[in-house]
A and B are shown apart, each in its own frame.
Chain A
Amino acid sequence: MNPFISIMLLSTLILSTMIVTISSHWLFAWIGLEMNMMAIIPIMMKKPTPRATEASTKYFLTQATASALLMLAIIINLMYSSQWTIMKLFNPTASILMTMALAIKLGLAPFHFWVPEVTQGIPLTTGLILLTWQKLAPISILYQISPSINLHLMVTMSFLSILIGGWGGLNQTQLRKIMAYSSIAHMGWMTTILLYNPSLTMLNLLIYIIMTFTMFTLLAQNSTTTTLLLSQTWNTMPIMTTFTMLTLLSMGGLPPLTGFMPKWMIIQELTKNESLLLPTLMAITALLNLYFYMRLAYSTALTLFPSTNNMKMKWQFYPTKQMTLLPTAIVLSTMLLPLTPMFFILL
């Protein structure tokens, strides 16, 4: 893409999320979300293959529907409160509609069907933007309306997301689809705690973004998009196998790695609010997630996958791709657990 156009689209992407997060008028938040959608569609179609076109079309249709539902909820809120300030909503209908609109934008179950298909059709770095940056704007709105969200709806959607994110990822070998299902499950964890302690949603979002960024950057070094290609990294970049394994285990939520921190805090907060069955079920279904991460770590770092002999003797070139922030990200996504009290600043 023309670099001028690329700069304009990326800066619009950043500007739109900033508009959504800092605005106090509902119309502005809606405009920010629309700009977000419009700016990322050409980024997703950088290589205009039919696969990318299909992914962009699916993304556009789902996000446009969600924006229309959001506008309807905003207007109903306006009707019952006669003001446009972004705060808790004043009508249960508006609240339910807005929650569902934002769930469509985030990819929560039962509106999760677009996430694997869109993530699969776009390049790896665009998938990174889709699964990390695009989550910031809807979650900031959810944070601001959290006092008025219906508890039953939210907990149902988030538990279904954890379940579907875990179960759906089990049969995948394409890494982008695995990351998509991992995103669905993490969104489920994030939105479970939204009604009890929204700061933990922010904590989970932060840790999730760091871990997903690490994972995608590791995958982008070798342009690995399938498990088979991942199993050949021992030959070209042996150190990446260790990092991939550690990051995957961190995403699965194992102590003493960083990924344990949000899960621990969320379960603690839920039990403080005297809901015991929900965190138990969430912790159990998170094991499904851990299983397919373990399977990837197994095939990457712990065993040598069967391959032909000439695959075992690849030339080790100097890496030509920019490893932007990769060492920092790896350290952050594996070693942050002892610094848990530091996140007191999020309150």
Chain B
Amino acid sequence: MMMYIVFIMSVIFVISIVGVSSKPSPIYGGLGLIVSGAMGCGIVFSFGGSFLGLMVFLIYLGGMLVVFGYTAAMATEQYPEAWISNKVVLGGFLSGLVVEFLMVLYVLWGEKVSFVFEFNGLGDWVIYDVGESGVFSEEIMGIAALYSYGTWLVVVTGWSLFIGVVAIMEITRGN
């Protein structure tokens, strides 16, 4: 079972994202985002990216989602819409579940599970994630390179996040 942990995590990932996108109230959507964020981190861990996974846990789940949860709790209504309270939401959730279930069956019975966790060197696919240095972890070296060679990327990313906030404030200003 442990061999298929990446596959199981990816299935839970998809199920919780289906739970978010079937449009319940934001409180329940936030729950779906937490579970999907955690599963995504788990997948990143399993491929060797320990630092980046922990970063996502800390900043995304522990910072941004917490703030989102508090603001959604402040703006919530008296009877928030859950997954089972409305036929539309339930129908969306169930159709997503059905499609995911069919895909799981296809992957398991078609003997294609190895695709999920053996991307490296599969057939003639070129290796795209961790290289084969063996001396240092490319992931952490990459993060260090972001702040030395990739200064322009940091500037652009920081500016676009700032503009995102400015845009949201301008749109919701209202007068």
Residues of A within 8 A of B (CB): 1, 5, 8-9, 12, 15, 19, 28, 31, 34-35, 38-39, 41-42, 45, 48, 56, 78-82
Contacts of B171 in A (CB 8 A): 41-42, 45, 48, 56
Most A Cβ at <10 Å: residue of B157, B170, B171:
B170
Q: List which B121-143 residues lie within 8 A (CB) of chain A.
A: 125-128
In the docked arrangement, what's the CA distance between A34 and B126, Å? 28
Most A Cβ at <10 Å: residue of B126, B127, B128, B171:
B171
Q: A9, B174: Cβ atoms under 8 Å?
A: no
Q: A1, B170: Cβ atoms under 8 Å?
A: yes
In the docked arrangement, what's the CA distance between A48 and B171, Å? 8
Known A-B contacts A48-B174, A78-B128, A79-B125; the reply to A42 vs B167 at CB < 8 A is yes
Is chain B's interface secondary structure helix, strand, loop, or mixed overall? Answer: helix
Contacts of B175 in A (CB 8 A): 48
In the docked arrangement, what's the CA distance between A311 and B39, Å? 68
Contacts of A34 in B (CB 8 A): 160
Q: A42, B127: Cβ atoms under 8 Å?
A: no
Q: A82, B127: Cβ atoms under 8 Å?
A: yes
Known A-B contacts A8-B163, A34-B160, A82-B127; the reply to A42 vs B170 at CB < 8 A is yes
User: Beta-carbon contacts of B158-175 to A below 8 Å, as 1s and 0s?
Assistant: 011001101100110111
Q: List 14 A-B contacts (CB under 8 A).
A: A5-B166, A5-B170, A8-B163, A12-B163, A28-B153, A31-B160, A38-B164, A41-B171, A48-B171, A48-B175, A79-B125, A80-B126, A82-B126, A82-B127
In the docked arrangement, what's the CA distance between A146 and B57, Å? 41
Distance (Å) between the CB of A35 and the closest chain B CB? 5
User: Which residue of B127, B153, B160 contacts A35 across the interface (Cβ within 8 Å)?
Assistant: B160
Contacts of B170 in A (CB 8 A): 1, 5, 9, 42, 45
Distance (Å) between the CB of B130 and the closest chain A CB? 13
Distance (Å) between the CB of B164 and the closest chain A CB? 5
Contacts of B164 in A (CB 8 A): 38
In the docked arrangement, what's the CA distance between A80 and B160, Å? 29
Q: Does chain A have a CB within 8 A of B3?
A: no
Q: Does chain A have a CB within 8 A of B1?
A: no
In the docked arrangement, what's the CA distance between A48 and B169, Å? 13
16 additional A-B residue pairs with CB within 8 Å, beyond A38-B160, A38-B164, A38-B167: A8-B163, A8-B166, A12-B160, A12-B163, A28-B156, A31-B157, A35-B160, A35-B163, A39-B167, A41-B167, A41-B171, A42-B166, A42-B167, A48-B175, A79-B125, A79-B128
Q: A31, B156: Cβ atoms under 8 Å?
A: yes
Range, interface on chain B: 10 to 19
In the docked arrangement, what's the CA distance between A79 and B170, Å? 39
In the docked arrangement, what's the CA distance between A45 and B170, Å? 8
Known A-B contacts A31-B156, A38-B160; the reply to A48 vs B173 at CB < 8 A is yes
In the docked arrangement, what's the CA distance between A1 and B174, Å? 11
A-B residue pairs, 8 tightest by C-beta: A42-B170, A82-B126, A35-B160, A42-B167, A12-B163, A38-B167, A45-B171, A38-B164
Residues of B within 8 A of A (CB): 125-128, 153, 156-157, 159-160, 163-164, 166-167, 170-171, 173-175
Distance (Å) between the CB of A167 and the closest chain B CB? 34
Q: B160, A9: Cβ atoms under 8 Å?
A: no
Contacts of B173 in A (CB 8 A): 48
In the docked arrangement, what's the CA distance between A18 and B170, Å? 24
Distance (Å) between the CB of A48 and the closest chain B CB? 6
In the docked arrangement, what's the CA distance between A80 and B128, Å? 10
Q: A9, B167: Cβ atoms under 8 Å?
A: yes
Contacts of B160 in A (CB 8 A): 12, 31, 34-35, 38
Distance (Å) between the CB of B138 and the closest chain A CB? 14
Contacts of A38 in B (CB 8 A): 160, 163-164, 167
Contacts of A56 in B (CB 8 A): 171
Contacts of B166 in A (CB 8 A): 5, 8-9, 42
Distance (Å) between the CB of A143 and the closest chain B CB? 22
Contacts of A80 in B (CB 8 A): 126
Distance (Å) between the CB of A80 and the closest chain B CB? 8
Distance (Å) between the CB of B39 and the closest chain A CB? 19
In the docked arrangement, what's the CA distance between A12 and B170, Å? 14
Most B Cβ at <10 Å: residue of A9, A35, A78, A80:
A35
Distance (Å) between the CB of A188 and the closest chain B CB? 31
Q: A39, B163: Cβ atoms under 8 Å?
A: yes
Contacts of A78 in B (CB 8 A): 128
Q: Report the nearest A residue to B175, measured CB to CB.
A: A48
Q: A9, B163: Cβ atoms under 8 Å?
A: yes
Contacts of A28 in B (CB 8 A): 153, 156
Contacts of B126 in A (CB 8 A): 79-82
Contacts of B159 in A (CB 8 A): 12, 15, 35
